[in-house]
Structure formats: C-alpha cells, structure tokens
Amino acid sequence: MAFLFNKFQEAVKVLAKSAAFAGHGRHLQFQDDINRLFLFTSYKRLGRNAEEADADEIIDMASKASLAEQQKEVQENIHLQISSFCKLMNGVLLSDSKGAASSPSKTNPPPSSSGLGFAVGRAASSHRLAMIETKPLTRIEVSLELKELTSYTLEIKPSQIQHKDAGEGLFLDGEANVGSVVAFFPGVTYSPAYYPYIPGYPRVDLHNPYLITRYDDFVINAQPWGRGGDAREMWDGSFVPEPPTSNSRVGGETGSDRVWRMLSKSQDGGSFGSKGEILERRNPLAFAHFANHPPRDVSPNVMVCPYDFPLSSWSERDMRAYIPNISFGNEEVGMKKFGAFWFKSWKRPSPPPAGVVRSLVLVATRGISNEEILLNYRLSNSKKRPSWYVPVNDDEDRRRWS
C-alpha cells in the first residue's frame, strides 16, 4: 500500500505541471485542488486490497477526465465516507430498537414563502424530520465510541505551534489514512446575496477567525457552532459573541479596526425568525474551524474540499442531523459579480441543486497519526496578513484570490 501511495504522490506532482490544466488564476487553482482531491479520495476508496493496476487506472483517469467529471467523482468519494460515518453515528447514538435504518416521520411542511421565508434554514427542505430519541451520551463519550469504530476522533487542546497567537489547535487522536475525511467545517452558510447579514459586516473577519469561503463564494461562519453541545437539538445558528481575547487568531485591534467596528452594521437576520434544523451537536468531527495554519517549514496535512450533501432520499435525510450546517436565507436570489463586489441580477437565477446542504470538509493529504491537524489558510495577499502567517505557497495564495 505504501508503494501505491508513492505512485499517487508522484502523480500529484506531475499532473500539477501538466498542460492539461488550462486556465488562469483562480480557475487554475481550483482545477489543481480538484485534481489532488480526486487522487487522494480515490486512493482512499481503493482500500487496503488495492492492486497496482487499479492505481494506474485512476492516475490515467486523473490526466484525462474533465474537471466536471473529477468533481463528480470527488463528491461521490466523499459522500461514501460521510454515509459510512453517519451509519456509525446512528449505531452509537440510536437504541437497538430503532436501528440505523429507522424511517423518520414527516412533520407538516412549512407554509409557503413569505417574509419569514428568509429565515436561517427555512430554505432547506419542505419536509422536516421529527426529533429522534438518542442515547444520553455526552460529546466526549460519543467521541470515544467513534474512535473505537473508525480508529480516530478529534481533540481540541493547546496548539503545539510556537507562537503567542496560536491558541488552541485541532488534534487527530488515532490514525487516519490519506484521503480520509477527518473533519467538518460547521456553522451557518451564506450565499453572496446574504453577505450583509454576516455578523460584523463589512469587516466580518475583524473579531471572527472562524470564517471560510468556498470556491463558489459561499461563506461558512463556524463561530455560532463553537464546541458543539451534548444533545441532538433544534439549532438555528444563534450566537452570543464573547469579548475578544488577546490571543485571537485575527490579531490585535488597531485604530483602523476600531473605526471599522464602530461603522460595521450587519443587517438583522434574526428579526425574520427561524425554525432551524435538528442537528447532532455531539458530532465528534465538527471542529475543522479549530485547525491552525502550519508554521514555517512545516507542510499542511489536510486540504479543504467543498461538499454538497444531497437530500434526495429518505435514507439520506435520515443522515441530515450529522451534517453540521444550515443555510441562511433563500439561495435562489440571483447575484452577479463585478470585480470584488456582488450585485443582485435582473436575470432569473438558475435553480439550485434540489435538496442540497452546502458544507465543507477537511481531507487528509497524507497519513495522520496522533498529531495536530494543519490547514493552509491561503490568506489573500492583497491585504495585510497577521504576523504568524507564513505562506505555504505564494503562487497558490495569489491564484486563489485572483
């Protein structure tokens, strides 16, 4: 298996320089990331009994398949892992009498769209799942049971990075193979139409280091999720902010920052009301927002992967509680981008994928064993970056935000 992994690693390097990567800037970087994710997740899917011929076939596909084909394959590979994780979580949390395949009952569908339809999570689905009784386990107990089944779980503890602003870090307790989904990035997902509702807008990152942007410009705010909870409950993304601390990863507040804080006024989405979604707050993998950026001369061991969880069948809706994300507002609002700014479009927007929960996961880029999880933040080089930030690859940063 180590020999096959070496072949995949070499393929990653070769394909990154291939002329098949047509495009410039951001699109080129996206294509490169999807290609790597295709190789890593396909390697994981091969399993321990893989043969060299299987590896050669996947490497050949990576050099010939279109970007759309590779994206589809990555989504399928990730979904297989997520489905397996959800079944294991059902085994941990549901009583034997309910079983992992219990059919959830439908509740009355919400009323048709109105002013309240712009609520957090209201756009999710016309069918809501009834609350299912679970075992009275704490988050820590659930985490330990998951580790027994999967060989790894996650811990949050002081980072090993030698910097005063490192704070807490995310650690993998156990062993995970390359291509494994090791964490979810939880929280509230905002489409560009709802950027003004992100707390702190327009300087949303001033006191919130737990934001991340997908390539499709959807922003996930993990701050409301925090450290999760000890129950399965209705969650609407509400959050009471804590005073900023001196070791915040966003850095100290400058005079300019104080001016922006006084001027910042995000629109009040809470006034719309919200029913939220029934989510499992004890999810042991919903802590990607605690992963730190690697220090100088240290390589990251994970990479981000946008993931759209489908709700196309009742078996998948039964797994919905383990996807730690909810959407803000109605994603069908049409938007068009001009430079760095988004404007509402007069054109009718194309319909979004039916029953999709937009999320993001961290995928292991090598074997990880009892160590801190490190993620390349790829901060924009168009703005002043924190003192602790050492670019992993300047070219990647530039392409990502071009």
Residue 132: the pLDDT is 87
Kindly tell me if the per-residue pLDDT of 253 is higher than 70.
Answer: no
Work out the percent of the chain whose per-residue pLDDT is above 70. Answer: 70
Here the tokens at position 22 are 């047509």
- pLDDT for 128 beyond 60: no
| The pLDDT of residue 190 | 94
Asked, for residue 70, whether it belongs to a domain, the answer is no
- Say yes or no to pLDDT of 70 above 50: yes
In one letter, which amino acid is 6?
N
Residue 12: the pLDDT is 61
Which pLDDT value is given to residue 14?
62
What's the mean pLDDT when you consider all of the chain? 80
Region 270-286: what's the mean pLDDT?
Answer: 78
pLDDT value at residue 10: 67
pLDDT at 149 over 80: yes
Using the predicted structure, report yes or no on whether residue 6 has a pLDDT greater than 90.
no
Q: Are 92 and 149 in contact (CB under 8 A)?
A: yes
Nearest-angstrom CA–CA distance, 18 and 87: 39
The first and second tokens of residue 220, run together, are 């996930």
Whether residue 30 is predicted with pLDDT greater than 90 in this model: the reply is yes
Contact 120, 236 (CB under 8 A): yes
Residue with the larger pLDDT of the pair 264 and 151: 151
> 164-183 burial, b for 16+ CB within 10 Å, e for fewer?
ebbbebbbbbbebbbbbbbb
For residue 254, what pLDDT band results from cuts at 50, 70 and 90? low
pLDDT band at 5 (very low <50, low <70, confident <90, very high): low
pLDDT digits (tens, 9 = 90+) for 177-190: 999 999 999 999 99
Pairing of strands 181-184, 211-213: unpaired
In the three-class reduction of DSSP (H, G, I as helix; E, B as strand; rest coil), residue 332 is classed as: coil
Closest CA to 275 of 128, 112, 103: 128
CA-closest candidate to residue 329, choices 202, 189, 211, 126? 189
Domain assignment of residue 313, yes or no? yes
Residue 243 clears pLDDT 70, i.e. is over it? no
Range of the domain at 123: 104-143+177-367+374-400
- 249 falls in which pLDDT band (50, 70, 90)? low
Q: What confidence category does residue 101 fall into, taking pLDDT thresholds of 50, 70 and 90?
A: very low
Q: Please give the pLDDT value at position 264.
A: 47
Domain membership flag for residue 2? no
The beta-carbon contacts of 255-262 under 8 Å, at least 24 apart in sequence, are 257/203, 257/206, 260/202, 260/203, 260/206, 261/200, 261/203, 261/206, 261/207
Number of Cβ within 10 Å of residue 140's Cβ equals 13
Tokens 């951001």 found at:
26
81 compared with 10, residue with greater pLDDT: 81
**pLDDT category, 114, cuts 50, 70, 90?**
very low
**What percent of the chain has a predicted confidence (pLDDT) above 90?**
53
CB atoms within 10 A of CB 125: 18
Distance CA 222, CA 215 (A): 17
In this structure, is residue 94 part of a structural domain? no
Judge whether 263 lies within some domain.
Answer: yes
- How many other C-beta atoms lie within 10 A of the C-beta of residue 13? 8
Query: What is the C-alpha separation between 49 and 194, in angstroms, rounded?
Result: 47
Other beta carbons within 10 angstroms of residue 95's beta carbon come to: 11
Give the model confidence (pLDDT) of 315-358 as tens digits. Answer: 787 899 999 999 998 655 555 554 555 455 545 555 545 589 99
In order of 40, 173, 361, 386, the CA distances from 157 in angstroms are 28, 11, 20, 22
Task: Report phi then psi at 161, rounded to 5.
Answer: -70, 130
Quick one: which H or E segment has residue 188?
strand 187-190
Q: Give the separation between CA 209 and CA 186, rounded to whole angstroms.
A: 13
Task: Give the range among 9-23, 233-247, 368-382 with minimum mean pLDDT.
Answer: 9-23
CA distances from 277 to 131, 238, 273, 280, 325 (A): 10, 12, 13, 10, 9
Is 72 a domain residue? no
User: Per the domain annotation, does 241 fall within a domain?
Assistant: yes
How many degrees, rounded to 5, is the angle at CA 223 between CA 217 and CA 228?
120
Helix/strand/coil for 277: strand
Residue 388 lies inside a defined structural domain of this protein: yes
Domains in the chain: how many in total? 1
